[in-house]
Amino acid sequence: MDVDHPATEADPRSGSARARTARAFLAVAVRVGVVLCVGAAAISGVLKFDDTLGVYDSAADRNHAFDYRERVYPEPVVAGSGKVFEDARLSMPADASYRVVRGRRYAETGYSYWAQYFLNGFLLPRRQTSSEEARWIFCFGCDAATLGRLRILSDEGDGLVFGKVRS
């Protein structure tokens, strides 16, 4: 059988002065703790702010040293010559479709498999297609036999060729 015990003097439910003092002390302690934590975080942030800026400043200096082509195009090992990509972007109309071909010498070029996916993003709004009807061609590792009727518009000699099929 449960018996409801009367509140004692230390019980916070009691209205005694001692209980009210304990509650007030606890509330003040929590507020002081919050203020100390916020103050410590602010001081730490101010003291470390210079170091943080230094990290971003060195990254900005590295990027500033790059020219436009180095910032826009991936490493040549990934996708080939940036000049070929730029020539293609400037030559192809915005509504054009292009095809990516891998020639017999593709394995020798060392280009990444991801090069064609770089083209997808870089040449937007142009569309990549597998259709033989595409008049614009990127060929990785192609030789003269592979190219056939292709009129070469850009070739840096690194295995990546861009051209247009002769009509």
Instruction: Give pLDDT tens digits for 114-144.
Output: 777 888 888 889 999 988 889 999 988 876 6
pTM for this one? 0.55
The separation between CA 83 and the C-alpha centre of its own chain, rounded to angstroms, equals 23
15 pLDDT exceeds 80? no
Quick one: average pLDDT of 82-89? Answer: 86
Contacts of 19 (CB under 8 A, 6+ apart): 9, 10, 11, 12, 13
Q: Say if residue 35 is exposed, middle or buried (CB neighbours under 10 Å; 0-12, 13-18, 19+).
A: exposed
Asked if residue 130 belongs to a domain, the reply is yes
Q: Examine the domain organization and report whether 12 and 82 are in the same domain.
A: no
Which residue has better confidence, 159 or 153?
Answer: 153
Q: Examine the domain organization and report whether 90 and 145 are in the same domain.
A: yes
Q: Examine the domain organization and report whether 114 and 145 are in the same domain.
A: yes
What confidence score (pLDDT) does residue 80 get? 66
What confidence score (pLDDT) does residue 7 get? 54
Q: Examine the domain organization and report whether 109 and 55 are in the same domain.
A: no
Asked if residue 102 belongs to a domain, the reply is yes
Q: Examine the domain organization and report whether 86 and 150 are in the same domain.
A: yes
Select from 99, 68, 100, 102 the least CA-distant residue to 83: 68
Q: Examine the domain organization and report whether 53 and 82 are in the same domain.
A: no
Residue 163: pLDDT band by 50, 70, 90 thresholds? very high
8 pLDDT exceeds 60? no
135 is in which domain, residue-wise? 76-165
82 pLDDT exceeds 90? no
Q: Examine the domain organization and report whether 60 and 89 are in the same domain.
A: no
62 pLDDT exceeds 70? yes
Asked if residue 57 belongs to a domain, the reply is yes
Asked if residue 70 belongs to a domain, the reply is no
